[in-house]
Amino acid sequence: MVTASISLRDVGRTFGATRALAGIGLDLKPGVIGLLGPNGAGKTTLLRLLATALPPTQGQVSVLGLDPQVPAERTGIRRQLGYLPQEIGFPRGFTAFAFVDYIALLKEWTEPAARHAEVRRVLGLVGLPDLGPKRIRAMSGGQRRRVALAQALLGSPLVLILDEPTTGVDPEQRVTLRTVLAEIARTSIVVLSTHQTEDVAALCERVIVLDRGRIRYDGPVTDLVGQAAGRVWLADEPDPAAKVSWRTGTGRYRNVGTRLRDDVEHVEPSLEDAYLLLRGGSAENEPAGEAAS
Partner 1 sequence: MTTALAPGRPAAAAGRTTLVALAAREMRRFVLNPVFLFAVVMTEWTTWTGGGGTTTEIDNVNGYPAVFLGGFGMMATYWLTRSMRASEPVAGVTPTTRPTRTAALCWVAIVPFFCGVLTLFGFLHPYPVGDAVYGPFSPSARLAVLVGQIVVPSLGGPLLGVALGRWVRFPGAAFVLFLVIFGWVELVTILTLSHQDSAPIAVLRLFSPFAFFTVHSDAGGVTAWRGSPWFFIGWQLALCAIAVLVALLRGAEGRLRSRIIRALGIAGATAVILLVLAATGGFTHAVTA
Interaction site with partner 1 (CB under 8 A): 51-53, 71, 75-76, 78-79, 81, 83-85, 87-93, 99, 102-103, 105-111, 114-115, 117-118, 121, 124-125, 148, 151-152, 155-156, 176, 179-180, 183-184, 187
Q: Which is nearer to partner 1, 53 or 234 (CB)?
A: 53
Of the two residues 81 and 225, which places its CB atom closer to partner 1 in the complex? 81
Least separation, in Å, of the C-beta of 151 and partner 1? Answer: 6
Distances (CA, A) of 282 to 22, 197, 210, 211: 16, 18, 11, 8
CB of 1 to partner 1, least distance (A): 11
Could you tell me the smallest distance in angstroms from the CB atom of residue 124 to partner 1? 6
CB nearer to partner 1: pick between 170 and 218 = 170
- Residue 147 beta carbon to partner 1: minimum distance, rounded to whole angstroms: 11
Q: How far is the CB of 284 from partner 1 (least distance, A)?
A: 36
Residue among 57 and 86 whose Cβ is closer to partner 1 = 86
At residue 44, what are phi and psi to the nearest 5 degrees?
A: -65, -35
CB nearer to partner 1: pick between 48 and 216: 48
Cα dihedral 98, 199, 208, 107 in deg (nearest 10)? -10
Within 10 A of 200 (CB to CB), how many other CB atoms are there?
24
- Would you mind telling me the total number of residues written for the chain in this entry? 293
